[in-house]
Amino acid sequence: MMEFAVGASVEAVDQLGIWAKSKVISASENSVVVTFPPWRSEWDREISDLSEIRKETIEETLIPRRLAQKKVRSYSMLILSFFISFSFLTLISISRKLLFAIRTRISRNCSTGTLFT
């Protein structure tokens, strides 16, 4: 990993598996940490596999950023739909428990003759 100096412009595989322009921010014998401008530091990635980093290429082999952003948006929509579905199922579960409790109380009150207590 020593071939990549700190500050060098490289191409690396990001968290989504997309080759993207990046910059080396630290290097050790076993790994390299890269940042993906203009993304925030939370997207920085430590790379220990040489197949996931390469010197910057001259020809345009990278996926355009707008396509990568579409991929990120599709993942975001997938996660959002999962949470909406989960929330809906949780609401249904709570509603069923509440209806069961109400029915139980009504049937108990009807059998004792005290419907409105």
**Which pLDDT score is estimated for 34?**
93
**Domain segments of the chain as ranges:** 9-55, 63-112
| Closest to 50 in 3D by CA, of 16, 69, 27, 66 | 27
Q: How many CA atoms lie within 13 A of 109 on its CB side?
A: 10
Q: For the structural domain made of 9-55, what CATH number should be given?
A: 2.30.30.140
Print pLDDT tens along the chain (117 aa): 458 888 888 998 888 888 888 999 998 888 899 999 888 888 899 888 888 888 887 765 555 555 555 555 666 777 777 778 777 778 788 888 888 887 777 777 666 665 555
